[in-house]
């Protein structure tokens, strides 16, 4: 089983919204074969609490335009790690320090990544330049 077309559509839209707010190191993992509860984990980081909130707002607005609303959200008050659960996808927006500490990529490294548009990570974050 692989991520559904709808999950990929939402993940790409969320990645674009995060990129528009200058999120760093945006990566999407197809976790559909490992988890029954979702298809995609999208992970990105921001340099401060205010930017985390800005990224979250942009993602929610972009996905709302596609008819998606989060089933739940966690961590908004602290602004260090916000999780948006859209059922098909789960978006993790982490403060850069939490991103390094929790290293979610390590947990999902065996899962395939979903190709995101080149401009999503263009010139930003440690992944910029991958695949070039």
What pLDDT, on a 0 to 100 scale, did the predictor assign at position 1?
67
Extract the tokens encoding 37. Answer: 């509860």
Identify the pLDDT of residue 132.
Answer: 33
- What is the CATH topology of the domain spanning 5-115? Beta Polymerase; domain 2 (3.30.460)
The upper half-sphere exposure of residue 1, i.e. CA atoms within 13 Å in the direction of its Cβ, equals 13
Place of tokens 């739940």: 72
- pLDDT at 124 (0 to 100): 58
Which residue stretches of the chain are H helix?
A: 5-20, 49-65, 96-102, 104-108
pTM surpassing 0.85?
Answer: yes
Q: Does residue 30 contact residue 114 with C-beta atoms inside 8 Å?
A: yes
Calpha distance 58→84 (Å, rounded): 12
- The chain-wide mean pLDDT, for the chain, equals 91
Summarised one tens digit per residue, pLDDT across range 30-49 is 999 998 899 999 999 999 99
pLDDT in tens, 107-122: 999 999 999 999 998 7
CA–CA separation, 108 and 37 (whole Å): 15
Task: Give 71-100 pLDDT, tens digit per residue.
Answer: 999 998 888 999 999 999 999 999 999 999
């Amino acid at each position: 089983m692989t991520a559904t077309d709808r999950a990929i559509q939402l993940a790409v839209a969320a990645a674009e919204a995060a990129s528009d707010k200058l999120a760093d190191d945006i990566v999407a993992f197809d976790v559909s074969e490992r988890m029954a509860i979702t298809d995609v984990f999208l992970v990105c980081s921001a340099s401060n609490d205010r930017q985390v909130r800005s990224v979250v707002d942009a993602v929610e607005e972009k996905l709302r335009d596609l008819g998606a609303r989060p089933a739940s959200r966690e961590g908004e008050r602290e602004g260090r790690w916000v999780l948006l659960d859209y059922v098909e996808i789960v978006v993790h927006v982490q403060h850069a320090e939490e991103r390094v500490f929790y290293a979610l990529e390590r947990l999902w490294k065996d899962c395939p990544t979903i190709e995101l548009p080149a401009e999503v990570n263009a010139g930003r974050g440690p992944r910029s330049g991958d695949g070039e």
